[in-house]
Amino acid sequence: MTKLSVNVNKIATLRNARGEDYPNLVKIAKDIIKFGAEGITIHPRPDERHIKYYDAYDLKQNISTELNIEGNPSKKFINMVCEVKPDQVTLVPDESDAITSNSGWDTVKNFDFLKDVVQEFKSNSIRVSIFIDPDSKMLEGAKKINADRVELFTGPYAKLYLTDKSNAINRYIDCSKIANKIGMELNAGHDLNQQNLEFFTKNIVNLKEVSIGHALISESLYFGLESTIKSYLKILN
């Protein structure tokens, strides 16, 4: 079964809009888990425009299931992750002013840097995933770096799915076959929703986890948080 990790960045954005603590991020994360999700994902950015660094500590102390922290491994980020010790850290190469993640790591050009970062996290017993484009060279590079998983950037898939879903999935199928052959576990995330998720999961081998935030929270405005989470779980099962 592919696990559902819910990205709660949008909840933090709503909370921060009034400068108060409503909605409370920890309470909603607990409810998300109660409704059936297997994990919580956060992506603190340097300007802390949604997730604050203290949110990582609060969530680790208060949720009962997997915590995944995403981000660009600056020194501040690395120190925070090593202190919090989440179940998983996902390394994402986004710029400090990026609105959202829009590309994966070049694991060949950044081999030495990523290898050192991965080693530091793994020495703290944290599972490491590297965010990559659906490219076999980047996948093989992540394996050489000794990452535990890769997260396939599904933004291109989601865009092309609307007009040519068979072509949209091809590179991801190729990556899943290679990952299965070399013993690399797969996560996936970005722009996945209830329309494109089932086709993706049915075609990808060894898919351990999907991280979904923007679409899930947006759909919840219409259908409610519990119903929306259960709809995603039904697709994944």
Task: Render each residue's pLDDT in the chain as its tens digit; 237 residues.
Answer: 899 999 999 999 999 999 999 999 999 999 999 999 999 999 999 899 999 999 999 999 999 999 999 999 999 999 999 999 999 999 999 876 655 667 799 999 999 999 999 999 999 999 999 999 999 999 999 999 999 999 999 999 999 999 999 999 999 999 999 999 999 999 999 999 999 999 999 999 899 999 999 999 999 999 999 999 999 999 999
**Alpha-carbon span 108 to 114, nearest angstrom:** 9
Q: Could you say which of 70, 151, 209, 219 is catalytic?
A: 70
User: Distances in Å between the alpha carbon of 167 and those of 41, 159, 162, 170, 209?
Assistant: 29, 11, 11, 5, 22
Q: Find the Cα–Cα–Cα–Cα dihedral 120, 122, 127, 133, rounded to 10°.
A: 50
pLDDT of 1 reads 87
Side-chain half-sphere CA neighbours of 212 within 13 A:
29
| 190 in catalytic set | yes
**Alpha-carbon span 113 to 80, nearest angstrom:** 18
**Residues 152 and 172 sit within 8 Å (Cβ to Cβ):** yes
List, as own/partner pairs, every contact residues 9-18 make where C-beta atoms lie below 8 angstroms and the sequence separation is at least 24, other chains included. 9/42, 9/43, 9/50, 9/51, 9/213, 10/50, 10/213, 10/214, 10/217, 10/218, 11/217, 12/42, 12/50, 12/51, 12/52, 12/55, 13/49, 13/50, 16/49, 16/50
**Alpha-carbon span 22 to 203, nearest angstrom:** 40
CATH code given to domain 3-236: 3.20.20.70
Its pTM stands at 0.95
| 43 in catalytic set | yes
pLDDT of 229 reads 98
Q: Could you say which of 50, 190, 209, 219 is catalytic?
A: 190
Residue identified by tokens 């933004």 is 155
Side-chain half-sphere CA neighbours of 167 within 13 A:
6
pLDDT of 82 reads 98
pLDDT of 205 reads 87
Q: Could you say which of 43, 50, 151, 209 is catalytic?
A: 43
